[in-house]
């Protein structure tokens, strides 16, 4: 993360290609009202809505390629 020092280290970081990074343990409420807790020092919340482990990122946002396209 590249923190703008004048404001200190950010608690939330929007990545350009993937999840929203959230600092500290968090409790997240889902649309159905259920709650999920993450005790990680940093959690990655899915923004692309393709994750199979909502609300957390599972890298499903990654670009899929065929061999040879790499």
Partner 1 sequence: MNRPELPAARGLLSEAVLAFLRGELLGLAVAEEAEAADPWGEDLQLALYCCYELHYRGFADVPDDLEWNPDLLGARAGMERAFLAALRAEVPDGDAAKSDAAKSDAAELADVIDALLVEPVDAHGVSHHLRRDGEVWQVREYVAHRSLYHLKEADPQAWVIARLDGPAKAALVTVEHDEYGGGDPARMHAHLFAEMMRSLDLDATYGAYLDAAPAPVLAEVNLMSLCGLHRSLRGALVGQFATVELTSSPGSDRIVRAMRRLGLPEQAVEFYAEHVEADAVHEQLVRRGVIAPMVAAEPELARDIVFGIRASTLLADRTDAMLLRSWGSGRSALRRPLADSPA
- The residues binding partner 1 (CB under 8 A) are 1-3, 13, 15, 17-19, 21, 39-44, 52-53, 56-59, 62-67, 70
CB of 46 to partner 1, least distance (A): 9
Integer angstrom CA distances of residue 54 from 6, 24, 41? 33, 18, 18
CB of 44 to partner 1, least distance (A): 4
What distance in Å separates the CA atoms of residue 56 and residue 38, rounded to the nearest whole number?
9
Closer by beta carbon to partner 1, 31 or else 36: 36
What distance in Å separates the CA atoms of residue 54 and residue 44, rounded to the nearest whole number?
10
């Amino acid at each position: 993360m590249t923190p703008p020092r004048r404001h200190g280290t950010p608690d939330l970081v929007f990545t350009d290609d993937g999840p929203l990074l959230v600092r500290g343990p968090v409790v997240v409420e889902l649309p159905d009202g259920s709650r999920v807790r993450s005790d990680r020092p940093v959690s990655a919340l899915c923004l692309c809505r393709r994750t199979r482990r909502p609300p957390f990122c599972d890298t499903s946002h990654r670009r899929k390629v065929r061999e040879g396209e790499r």
